[in-house]
Amino acid sequence: MKTLLRNVLFTAILIFGAKSLPAVPPQADDSWAEGANTAYRETMPVDLAALQQRAASGEPSAQNDLGFMYANGQDVPKDYAEAVRWYRKAADQGYADAQNNLGVIYNYGQGVPHDCVEAMVWYLKAAEQGDVKAQYNIGQLYRHGCGVERDDGEASVWYRKAADQDYADAQHNFGLMYKNGLGVPRDNVRAYMWLDLAASKSTGGNQEKFTASRDALAASMTPEQIAKAQRLAHEWVPGAE
């Protein structure tokens, strides 16, 4: 599997060299979820001096947390260059959260040139370790044709990997792939099932968005189809669909 992923990446690099393709705009009626960053895990308030000491001693989780703080201006001035420096220290030690976060930094060009090819390098490293957000982010790059040729089939594969780990953003996007027949056969029942799963475990704005996607699809379905999709969602367990 690792060899296959690297071959895909190397092919993309040979095709596009050092350039990154601009992201293809998402379909206006679907509100595709955006790329994800790994959540900061320290309990607040943070003992900044202790965290810095742990990071300086080489602890990758502390390096990642410190990078996140600089990227978001949390208890320190926002400084993307410092965020990159600390993320890279942790990423070079194989720490998956930092590898994904470094990919996000390149994905959005925060303190570094916007470079989706470099983002893919780091996303793949994290995804090979099973990192769910990196898997989702790879799906985003394929979906929007950023750093690689747009490929809905590959986007569906990566959304599915993250969806199978119960990641709501990926479940939403995978449901939209079924709704629109992108990379998978058009299937409203499967689409509703994934959109319902996404809506059921989300909160706030995401819950509203995912619920709206599900309910918009329901308007074109029969009661029997909706009932079947709801049953599939109720019976679904992570990794078993």
- Per the structure block, which two tokens stand in for 21? 């393709």
pTM for the whole structure: 0.84
Please name the residues in contact with 28: beta carbons below 8 A apart, sequence gap of 6 or more: none
If one compares 180 and 5, the residue with the highest pLDDT of the two is: 180
pLDDT-derived band at 40, boundaries 50, 70, 90: low
Task: Please identify, among 104, 138, 172, the residue that sits at the C-terminal boundary of a domain.
Answer: 138
Reading the block at residue 38, the tokens are 């790994």
Please check the confidence at residue 184 and state whether its pLDDT lies above 50.
yes
Domain of 165 in residue numbering reads as 151-241
Same domain for 168 and 105: no
- Based on the fold, state whether residues 166 and 197 are members of the same structural domain: yes
118 and 61 within one domain: yes
Residues 72, 2 within the same domain: yes
167 and 206 inside one domain: yes
22 part of a folded domain: no
Q: Residues 102-107: what's their mean pLDDT?
A: 94
Whether the pLDDT of residue 32 is over 70: the answer is: no
pLDDT at 39: 63
Q: What is the mean pLDDT of the chain?
A: 86
